[in-house]
Structure 1
Amino acid sequence: MGYWVAECPSLPACISQGKTKTETIGNIKEAVKLYIEVLKEEGRPIPEDNLETVLVDV
């Protein structure tokens, strides 16, 4: 059985996975939270979200 993979394009280091979609969403949320905490601790800027999403239903 496969895995779900999630990434946060605005934070390139944030990639996560899980056995289910729900697990993967929880994992990526945690990864983003921890990544931002580290950026703040190191005094580094938090990147602005620069992603535009377009949904096309065919």
Structure 2
Amino acid sequence: MYRYLIVIEKTEGNYSAYSPDLPGCVATGKTREEAEENMQVAIEMHVRGLIEDGLPVPEPQSFASYVTVQ
């Protein structure tokens, strides 16, 4: 089981999501929740494709944290 960080960004007309550990794996949605759900599906398909092609599945390496500035 893998656990990948995803980043969701608000754009002009929707939300977009990507995973730093899976280059090229992206998704969008009208809402943050929809983008997250679509990213779940995209990651599952991406990883399944890598396995089917006999390619290595990247180990999750990314972390996220907030920094507070005054």
TM-score normalised by length of structure 2: 0.75
More helix by share: 1
The within-5 A match list for 1:1-58 is 2-58=13-69
Note the aligned Cα RMSD (angstroms): 1.3
Q: Which stretch of structure 1 is more off in the superposition, 16-25 or 1-10?
A: 1-10
* TM-superposition CA deviations, 1:18-45 (whole Å, max 9, x none): 1001110010000000000000101110
Q: How many residues align?
A: 58
Q: Which runs of 5+ in 1 are unaligned?
A: none
TM-score (norm: length of structure 1): 0.89
Where does structure 1 differ by over 2 angstroms across 4 or more consecutive aligned residues? none
Between the two proteins, what is the percent identity of the paired residues?
34
